[in-house]
Structure 1
Amino acid sequence: MSTPQPPMPQTAAPNWQAAPGSSYPTYTSPIPVVRTHLGHALASEWTKIRSVRSTMWTLGVFVLLVVGIGLAAAALVAANSADGGVGDENPLSLGFFGLLLGSMCIITLGVLTTASEYGTGMIRTTMTACPSRGRVLAAKAIVFFSVAFVVTLAASLVVALADVSMLDAREPTGQEWLKGTVGISLYIALLGLLSLVVGSIIRHSAGAITIMIGVLLAPLVIALFMFSESLQDLQQALFEYSIPNQLSVFYSQSLSSSGPSGWDPLWIMLVVTAAAFAAAYALLEKRDV
């Protein structure tokens, strides 16, 4: 027959279990409780984009391409032209070549702004710190767009001023100055923003960069090899709405006799980017990180 065990002694409950209510009624935390907002997300994304080496490298190469090729083109034209100028053509148009190549740098940086966080897993920390996913995407878009626009504007303005001073050409009109500096900078920044959104959708840096370079160059290259008469309408459309042709419109040097003109390329890129942003936001809310 077993011997009954004595009852276990009752221990006092820990202080945090003793009774409802605060155990330290007079304690006040020195850490202020602040309701987070978009400004905090902007500060976080600004810290990220300026502290990684890829930003300095891509923007540095971008400025080098835009300024270097722009000045080289102006010097070449001035040296080989009989009158040292471009006649009645817009002298700002020589900046087109550098911006076309430099746009690949902006595309790359836009993709890396979002897709690289998925590759490293940093996106989990970002979403933990800011559970509002739409706010994170908006903050990334605002910071990147601002950086891309300012850098592009500065580079294109340097090239424009240098080209006008180096060439014996007519003075550009106010509209030409506006389109050749501010307009083209807005377009390039929107192109980079579209790349950022594609990076958020694809979540893979190499894949998103490949897609965006294809969007940049493929329509024009494909159109060059369309020799069939039955494909002439498609060929014309690819020429007119290719990104290189839309870039040339800002210098009144369209590669096609029809298609977008004036400020049309900017509105087209704005609509496309807005649609892609809406799709990225919807997917971001549904998918796991």
Structure 2
Amino acid sequence: MSTPQQPQQPQQPGQPQPPFQGGQGWGPGVPPQAPVAPQPAPQPPYGAGGFGGPPPGGGFAGQPPAGYAPAAPAPAGYAPGAPAPAGAPAAYPPAGYPPAGHPPGPSAEPGGGFFGAVAAEWTKLWSVRSTYWCLGLMAGLVLVLDLGLGVAISGRDSSPFTFIRVLIPGVLLGQLAVVPLGALSITSEYSTGLIRTTFVAAPARLRVLAAKTLVLLTVLLVLCTFCTTVGMLLSALLLPGDSTGGGAVPTGMDRLDASLGAGVFMALLGMLAYAIGTLIRHSAGSITIVLGLLFLPFILGLIAVGFSGTRPVGQKLLEYSLLDGLVAQFGVPFIGGGPGPWTLISLLAVVTALVLAGGLAATAARDA
């Protein structure tokens, strides 16, 4: 049932036509009105409300407040799109900038390139207290124990302790301070979230890790070798007439080989901890794995040589253990006839390089 239509009211003269709204306002005898397009609001005159628009906070409703004066008019000759008048500042940057073949900024690479990454990693390494604690403890253990043991046996029958072998206790304990430094240099950034900031500033991850590896390896090689060399000199001063235990006086090459070998071996242990930390991203796990590799084969070898059936296996474990590789630098390996000291250093370097390569590949493939 349809509703009867209301009659249309007659339109008064001068009254505007109502807009067309979905069929309303029209009826029999009244044609529909076309919709009226909205008109843009009138723009204020040039200079009203400040040069280029209304004052901060929006325009005024009604009259401006007392004391308000519009900004000064535009300079003579100004027109949008026209050249700047005389005396106006030139456009920046000037035409032709930058010159052909030159980057637009200080560096064409984000993060400052490789040397910028090296500088950043050097700053980060020396900005944390753990670096000073670990290196200070390593130097103290190597030098203080060497000096103390040299004073204790000075002037006595010290054939078991030549001035080269006096360095062994300090080096064995000093390596325990190098391992945490290598692990913390990378895992601390993951635990604090700084690694994300680093990769945002320098998206080339392999470049960042290459710079970090170079900085850490340089610091460990220089400081570990310096400590072992100074310890060697101190023990030589305290025990000037001592021999190697076989009757031969140590030559300069014997001393250099022992000090350099011990320093390089300690630095590689720190780099092994760094490589494992890059791979697993966990501080305690990295330190535990390296300490396990350091002591476990030696302990298992000692147990295995006590049984006739496992004695060959135990001898191999002792010959290739990290502890045997370290003391072999001083001419006193636990098992004679094994690989030479620099052979063990080469094996440790190869293992460290392989683990580090795996860590670099994992870092490039996964999220930080």
Indicate the TM-score class for this superposition, using the shorter chain for normalisation: 0.7 to 0.9
Q: Answer 1 or 2: higher relative contact order, Cα 8 Å, separation at least 6.
A: 1
Pair 1:52-2:115 in alignment: no
1:77 paired residue number = 153
* CA distance, structure 2, for counterparts of residue 183 and residue 10 of structure 1: 85
Confirm or deny: 8 A CA contact 1:91 1:172 kept in the other structure. Answer: no
Q: CA deviation at 1:90?
A: 4.5
* CA distance, structure 2, for counterparts of residue 32 and residue 174 of structure 1: 53
1:207 paired residue number = 285
Q: Find the residue that maps to 2:142 and give its secondary structure.
A: helix
Q: Find the residue that maps to 2:331 and give its secondary structure.
A: coil
Pair 1:183-2:261 in alignment: yes
* CA distance, structure 2, for counterparts of residue 217 and residue 115 of structure 1: 22
Confirm or deny: 8 A CA contact 1:90 1:172 kept in the other structure. Answer: no
Alignment of 1:87-166 (within 5 A): 90-166=162-238
Q: CA deviation at 1:182?
A: 1.7
Post-superposition Cα deviations, 1:216-273, rounded to whole Å, max 9, x if no partner, equal: 1111122222233221122111101111110111111111112121421221111111
Query: How many equivalent residue pairs?
Result: 275
2:159 to 54, 76, 86: 86
Q: Find the residue that maps to 2:330 and give its secondary structure.
A: coil
1:34 paired residue number = 107
Q: Find the residue that maps to 1:91 and give its secondary structure.
A: coil
RMSD: 2.5
Q: CA deviation at 1:7?
A: 2.3
Pair 1:2-2:80 in alignment: no
Q: CA deviation at 1:128?
A: 1.1
Q: Structure 1's 26 and 246: CA in aligned 2 closer, same or farther, altered over 3 A?
A: same
- Between structure 1 and structure 2, the one with the greater Rg is 2
Structure 2 unaligned regions, length at least 5: 1-19, 23-34, 44-89, 99-103, 244-248
2:354 paired residue number = 275
* CA distance, structure 1, for counterparts of residue 216 and residue 171 of structure 2: 18
TM-score by length of 1: 0.87
Quick one: which amino acid aligns to residue 75 of structure 1? V
Report which of the two has the higher share of helix.
1
Confirm or deny: 8 A CA contact 1:90 1:251 kept in the other structure. Answer: no
1:237 paired residue number = 316
Q: Structure 1's 76 and 6: CA in aligned 2 closer, same or farther, altered over 3 A?
A: same
* CA distance, structure 2, for counterparts of residue 206 and residue 256 of structure 1: 32
* CA distance, structure 2, for counterparts of residue 54 and residue 159 of structure 1: 23
Farther off after superposition, 105-114 or 185-194? 185-194
Q: CA deviation at 1:93?
A: 1.5
Quick one: which amino acid aligns to residue 191 of structure 1? L
Confirm or deny: 8 A CA contact 1:134 1:281 kept in the other structure. Answer: yes
1:264 paired residue number = 343
Post-superposition Cα deviations, 1:167-188, rounded to whole Å, max 9, x if no partner, equal: 1314521221222222221121
Q: CA deviation at 1:25?
A: 6.0
TM-score by length of 2: 0.69
* CA distance, structure 1, for counterparts of residue 36 and residue 176 of structure 2: 80
Confirm or deny: 8 A CA contact 2:221 2:264 kept in the other structure. Answer: yes
Q: CA deviation at 1:6?
A: 4.1
Q: CA deviation at 1:86?
A: 2.6
2:329 to 250, 274, 280: 250
Q: Structure 1's 5 and 273: CA in aligned 2 closer, same or farther, altered over 3 A?
A: farther
Farther off after superposition, 54-63 or 131-140? 131-140
Q: CA deviation at 1:134?
A: 1.1
Farther off after superposition, 70-79 or 154-163? 70-79
Q: Structure 1's 106 and 5: CA in aligned 2 closer, same or farther, altered over 3 A?
A: farther
Confirm or deny: 8 A CA contact 1:90 1:252 kept in the other structure. Answer: no
Post-superposition Cα deviations, 1:7-44, rounded to whole Å, max 9, x if no partner, equal: 263999xxxxxxxxxxx963269983313321111100
* CA distance, structure 2, for counterparts of residue 187 and residue 278 of structure 1: 19
Confirm or deny: 8 A CA contact 1:201 1:280 kept in the other structure. Answer: yes
* CA distance, structure 2, for counterparts of residue 90 and residue 8 of structure 1: 102
